[in-house]
Amino acid sequence: MKGFLLSFQSEFYKTRKTLGFWGAIILPILISSLAFLAVYTKSDVFVKMPPMGQWIQFSMISLGSMGSLLLPIYTIFVAYSVNNVEHKADTWKTLFSLPISRWAVYSAKFFYALFLLFLCLTLFVIFNVAFGNLLSVFKPELKFNEYHMELQLIQVYYKLLLSALGILSIQFLLSLLWADFLKPMGLGFVATITGVILASNNWKYSYLFPYAHPMGAIKSMVKNNNGPSKMLEIDIYTKDVYVSLVIAVVVFIAGYYIVQRKSVK
């Protein structure tokens, strides 16, 4: 456990000056600011909606872009980035000749990538809530202060995090095995586009394809209630989320055995 914690700390130390780390902070700021500007400049349209509708419309700007393309692509990038640090510096050999178990080195790297994803999505929730409330300060005619959906936002972004784990584990392994940029990123992009097409066309089995999960997660987030409801209920554990979790666990463990057998160059 100590080896894991030291390795995790070291991952932060190494990447704190890289785009992989700062991306987790810049992306939510950027997207949330754009959403803020969109609502601010089009406030006349939003004024006509009830407070809950305003929140949903505002939040969907971030959620929609994340769910469709941004989240899979950011996940692919994070997986690439944490491994590329070692490929570029040719440091796998030193990493694996430290008096720390291989399992600790491998898992710390994976969980650090997961942590970046978590950080990114947490900041999305925070900025989404903050900018929403800020809108009603700058534009009092908007009624963001009259409705609260913090819990639902946390639930949706948590669902998004879970739905991205399958992609993360696959891309993590690909980026670990391949030193170059094009192979893991290229495959990831093609798979993401395929996933978006499958999910947006409601293909019956798209829940089995990990790259379709973020979009599937957005599509399946609202619980189907009968009749009109004042409360928005989020359905977190849908079958695509379960598939994503199973893929993440299986690929993560399989990846360790592949790494274990692989000679360190």
Q: Which positions lie near another protein, rule CB under 8 A?
A: 6-7, 9-10, 13-14, 17-18, 85, 88-91, 93-94, 96-101, 261, 263-264
Least Cβ distance, residue 9 to another protein (angstroms) = 6
Least Cβ distance, residue 136 to another protein (angstroms) = 42
- Phi/psi for 264 (5° steps) reads -85, 125
CB closer to another protein out of 81 and 238: 81
Burial of 148 (0-12, 13-18, 19+ CB in 10 A): middle
Report which of 111, 92, 113, 112 is spatially closest to residue 102, judged by C-alpha positions: 92
Least Cβ distance, residue 98 to another protein (angstroms) = 6
CB-based contacts of 30: which residues, under 8 Å, 6+ apart?
Answer: none
CB closer to another protein out of 21 and 144: 21
CB closer to another protein out of 98 and 222: 98
CA atoms of 60 and 57, how far apart (whole Å): 5
CB closer to another protein out of 86 and 240: 86
CB closer to another protein out of 96 and 256: 96
Sign of the four-CA dihedral 120, 124, 130, 135? positive
**Residue located via tokens 């989404």:** 128
Least Cβ distance, residue 106 to another protein (angstroms) = 14
CB half-sphere exposure, 198, CA atoms < 13 A: 19
DSSP secondary structure code for residue 66 in this structure: I
Least Cβ distance, residue 261 to another protein (angstroms) = 8
Least Cβ distance, residue 1 to another protein (angstroms) = 14
CB burial string 194-205: b at 16+ within 10 A, e below: ebbebbeeeeee
CA atoms of 41 and 217, how far apart (whole Å): 29
CB closer to another protein out of 90 and 146: 90
CB closer to another protein out of 97 and 202: 97
Least Cβ distance, residue 17 to another protein (angstroms) = 6
**What count of other Cβ atoms lies within 10 Å of the Cβ of residue 177?**
14
